[in-house]
Structure formats: C-alpha cells, structure tokens
Amino acid sequence: MSEFLLLNDIQQIVENLSDVSNQFSGKTVLLTGGRGFLGRYFMEIFNFLNEKVLKDKVKVIVLDNLITSGKEGAEIPIYKNIEFINHNVIKKISLDKPVDFIIHAAGIASPYYYRAYPLETLEVAIKGTQNMLELAESNSAKLTFFSSSEIYGDPDQKNIPTKESYRGNVSCSGPRACYDESKRVGETLCNIYHNLKGICTNTIRPFNVFGPGMQETDYRVLPNFTSRIKGNIPLQIYGTGNQTRTFCYITDAMEGFIRVILNGVPGEAYNIGNPEPELSVIELIEKIELILGKKVQYHKVDYPDSYPADEPNRRCPDIQKAKIQIKYKPKIDIDEGLKRYINWSDRVYTGKQ
C-alpha cells in the first residue's frame, strides 16, 4: 500500500464493517473517482477484503480521468480483481461484464478546483450521474451517488444541526453554485430514476471528511493548514474565522459510506459526518496547537480569487437517520483523528505550497 494511506486505518474500517462486508461476496462494483481521496480508500478496502475476508472475491472496475487526483492518485496500484480505466464519466461507457453496485464518487470536490473548473464540476455531477444511472438501469445495479453537505448552502440557525429533510439555502449564481447546484441536480436525477424506473439509488451527503491521503495542494482547510505548518508559513484564515465546521475522521466516514451502499433504504439520502464538536476555524487552529504542543502563527485575509467566498457560516450534520437506519455511529473523536492526520501529514507533506 502506498505511503499515502495508513494500513491500520484500512484494517480498522474493515473490522468495523465485519457485520455487513460479506454482502460484497462475488459481486462486481463500478467505482467512479477511484483515484481521489475517498476513491483510493475504496480501492484499498476492496483489496483488503479480497486478501483477508472474502472467499468469493469482489471485482472492482475503477473509472477516473485523473483531472484532480494529483500525484497521490496518479500512482495506480495493480491489484488482482481490480481494474483501472482512465475514463471521463461525462462520456458514456459500455462494460464487458455486468455490475451489481455503482459507486459514483467522481466529482470536483475541493473549492479551489471547482473555482478553476466550473463547467467540469457541473458536468461530472449532472451528465456523469445520468450516465451512471443509465448503467444502473441496464445492469439492474444499485447506485450510490456522492452528493455533498454543500447542497444545504448556508442554513439558518434553526436548521443546524441540519437534517436530510432541510431544503437548503443555496445561491444559483454565487461562486459555489457550480458545485452546490449540480450536486442538487444529481440528487434529483437519482430520485427520478428511482421513482420512475425503479432503480435502487442512494445519496450520501458527506460533511468535511479528513484523514491521511488528502492531497497537500487541494486547498481544503486541513491540508492547507498542515502543509503551511510543515513549511513554517503562517496560516491564512479566509474571512472572520468564526465560520464553523464539523470534521469526520476517514475511518468513520468510510464505514458510514459502505453501510449506505449496502443497506441504505432505496431512494433515501444520508448525512455522513460527525456532529461533534462544531469548531470555528480559530478553534480548529487551537486544537492543532494543543496537539503540536506549540503556538501556530496565523492571520486573517480577504478571500483570494482562487477560493470561492460565500461559504456557509455554520455546518453541522444531524445523523439520526443514518444511526437508526444503517447503524452508523462515529467512533474517532476529533483529537484522535487530528493526531493521526497530523502525524501522517508531517511525514508525507513537503511544506511547499
């Protein structure tokens, strides 16, 4: 396994899934975005399941056009039963074997990249999703679409923590619209294919997942901060620093995702994240300081052109639905998750932005 992930984390995810993972026995999975942050975890988990758990192996077809996968994703491991195809999912693809599960995780996920690639961001979530839904229809496969917590936009106070039933407060023309709105259309497509054509679909709305494997240069908040710390460069806080997020460690998130993929109620959307603690950006820096045992220099700046302003003031999931329907329960607290991530990033990141 590459230095970009931790074997202990993969083991932990597989152990946490021991009650359900057998459902992949003998099945074929189509995974899009398989060289991104989450996609690489899926590849490692399926390989681990094949090596250590499943008698009847799971076959995996991985699609990615590598548009934002960086050096971490470009190194493609060769695993038995896992096939990689360099493919842009906005183009149709015909497969030479039937598939049972489709995991549509291709997307332009980092705000920095969707600012740089707004049309590609729209297309992968709309055309890409429709192409995958058509494949699900012709294969009678179950499809899981990776949407985002961003579909809620900037919720008002009374809708935080945010339930799946909240309709959102989203701008169709703001700097984040290409991402938020296209994920909303992607969800609508899933619902139409479910209601009209009987396709088994689920939607996942991840809330700020973090962990080893995040690209140093994709400008999401934690890699941005830890890379700067490694390079002894002061952190920059965009805006006031009072905007809040909750952070979900990768082992919990992957467990939740796979529980949705296997046992989500057809047609339903699920928040997957960790609702506690809700931290402002400044409180996040204070947590990092405690873990490092030293002060970190930072200053507040205006939003740069490369980063979409208009970000949500608060973001925090209500995860009751996933707890009840698919037995999802985050286990790794923020301190433990940050320790694992910071130790890893200190070893792997270069500190050069």
Ligand X SMILES: NC(=O)c1ccc[n+]([C@@H]2O[C@H](COP(=O)([O-])OP(=O)(O)OC[C@H]3O[C@@H](n4cnc5c(N)ncnc54)[C@H](O)[C@@H]3O)[C@@H](O)[C@H]2O)c1
| 45, 106, 281, 342: residue in contact with ligand X (rule CB under 6 A) | 106
Residue with Cβ nearer ligand X (54 or 251): 251
| 146, 219, 238, 341: residue in contact with ligand X (rule CB under 6 A) | 146
What's the rounded Cα separation, in Å, for the pair 12 and 223? 23
Report CA-CA distances (Å) from 255 to 41, 54, 272: 11, 17, 9
76 HSE (CA, 13 A, CB side): 17
Region near ligand X per CB under 6 A, out of 142-150, 227-235, 261-269, 284-292: 142-150
Region near ligand X per CB under 6 A, out of 92-100, 104-112, 224-232, 334-342: 104-112
According to the binding rule CB under 6 A, does residue 93 interact with ligand X? no
179 flagged as catalytic? yes
- Least Å distance, CB 31 to ligand X, is 10
According to the binding rule CB under 6 A, does residue 37 interact with ligand X? yes
Residue with Cβ nearer ligand X (37 or 238): 37
According to the binding rule CB under 6 A, does residue 176 interact with ligand X? no
| Chain Cα centroid distance, residue 106 | 10
Q: Which residues sit opposite 205 in a β-bridge?
A: 271
What's the rounded Cα separation, in Å, for the pair 18 and 255? 10
Region near ligand X per CB under 6 A, out of 206-214, 298-306, 308-316, 317-325: 206-214
Catalytic residue among 112, 179, 249, 341: 179
For residue 162, give every residue at least 6 positions away whose Cβ sits within 8 Å of its Cβ, in sequence order, or none: 149, 152, 155, 271, 315, 316, 317, 318
Ranked by CB distance to ligand X, the top (closest) residue is: 36
- Least Å distance, CB 250 to ligand X, is 9
What's the rounded Cα separation, in Å, for the pair 39 and 103? 9
Please say whether the beta carbons of 210 and 250 come within 8 A: yes
Residue among 89, 91, 93, 92 nearest 108 (CA):
89
Residues that bind ligand X (CB under 6 A): 32-33, 35-39, 63-69, 73, 88-90, 105-110, 124, 128, 146, 148-149, 206, 208-209
- What residues are annotated to the active site? 179
